[in-house]
Amino acid sequence: MTERERIENLHQKYFSLRENTPPMNRDGEECKAYHEWYESAYVYFKSFDYLQNDSDFQIFVNAKKNGNCFVLEQIYDSISPSYKVLMELTGKISKDDKTSTPRSYNSKKVFVVHGHNNAVKQTVARTIENLGLTPVILAEQPDKGRTVIEKFEREGNDVGFAVVLLTADDKGRKNYARKMQDRARQNVVFEMGYFMALLGRERVFLLLQKGVEEPSDLKGVVYTPLDKDGAWQYRLVKELREQGYDVTSDNL
């Protein structure tokens, strides 16, 4: 069952209780059904960035949240037309992919893409925690019988930002070159591209260790030097704030 189907089932449950329960018999079950539907739809609609300035979206999310069953019935009548419009608008996004879910950029989870440099990985993870966010390190997540790529896709879908650690874990060279050059792990380059496509380049923070070769397709992309003094941490705070995260360098 998709999230849209679940929300619509909750909607039908509330509407059925409302229509089939005599006024004198109305109780907390109807109120509970309303809140389950409204809160689920609220979170779902909020996850679509392009709706933020829509008039029906504003009507729905700014509706009064509490009251007895009779008050909630009046609220429902006022927001029901907007709910139908919003379901139609968001339905166009996934009509060709019935299993798709909207990307939420409000997640406090930050994916840490890393190679073999455990010290850098731990330093970055602790920095993210100090900022009040949750670092997601793939190896630390439960397998649940999934393949590596399945696990990666599922865990990556829950984050709103990614930090990529381009550290000197491999060496390589062009066929005609003699000198070997430090390179990031192949999985790091792959995951970097994945998150750029998934989240957008502005939500992917690239930390480049000195001497590591920059991926050729990304020439011109801004990298942050992985300096020993920790200046990169302040740059990370700045980038997170640019994307709407409530973080401060006071917590570093």
Work out the number of other CB atoms within 10 angstroms of the CB of residue 198. 16
Rounded distance between C-alpha atoms, residue 129 and residue 206, angstroms: 18
Model pLDDT, residue 205: 94
> Is the pLDDT assigned to residue 234 strictly greater than 90?
yes
Say if residues 206 and 222 touch (Cβ distance below 8 Å).
yes
Tens digit of each residue's pLDDT (9 = 90 or more) over 124-174: 999 999 999 999 999 888 888 888 888 888 888 889 899 999 999 888 877
Model pLDDT, residue 79: 93
> Is the pLDDT assigned to residue 100 strictly greater than 50?
no
> Is the pLDDT assigned to residue 98 strictly greater than 50?
no
Long-range contacts of 26-32 (CB under 8 A, 24+ apart): 26/69, 26/70, 27/69, 30/69, 30/72, 31/68, 31/69, 31/72
> Is the pLDDT assigned to residue 57 strictly greater than 50?
yes
> Is the pLDDT assigned to residue 87 strictly greater than 80?
yes
Rounded distance between C-alpha atoms, residue 222 and residue 250, angstroms: 25
> Is the pLDDT assigned to residue 99 strictly greater than 60?
no
The maximal CA–CA distance of the chain, rounded, in angstroms, is: 87
Model pLDDT, residue 25: 64
Q: If you average pLDDT over every residue of the chain, what do you get? A: 85
| C-alpha radius of gyration, the chain, whole number | 23
- pLDDT band with cut points at 50, 70 and 90 for residue 95: very low
Model pLDDT, residue 216: 66
Helices (H) and strands (E) in the chain, counts: 8, 7
Model pLDDT, residue 204: 93
pLDDT > 90: percent of the chain: 34
- Distance of alpha carbon 110 from the chain centroid: 8
Name which residue leads in pLDDT, 210 or 174: 210
Model pLDDT, residue 127: 95
Say if residues 99 and 105 touch (Cβ distance below 8 Å).
no
Residue 9: both structure tokens together: 């089932």
Q: What strands lie across the sheet with 109-113, from one edge to the other? A: 134-136, 109-113, 161-166, 204-208, 224-225
pLDDT > 70: percent of the chain: 90
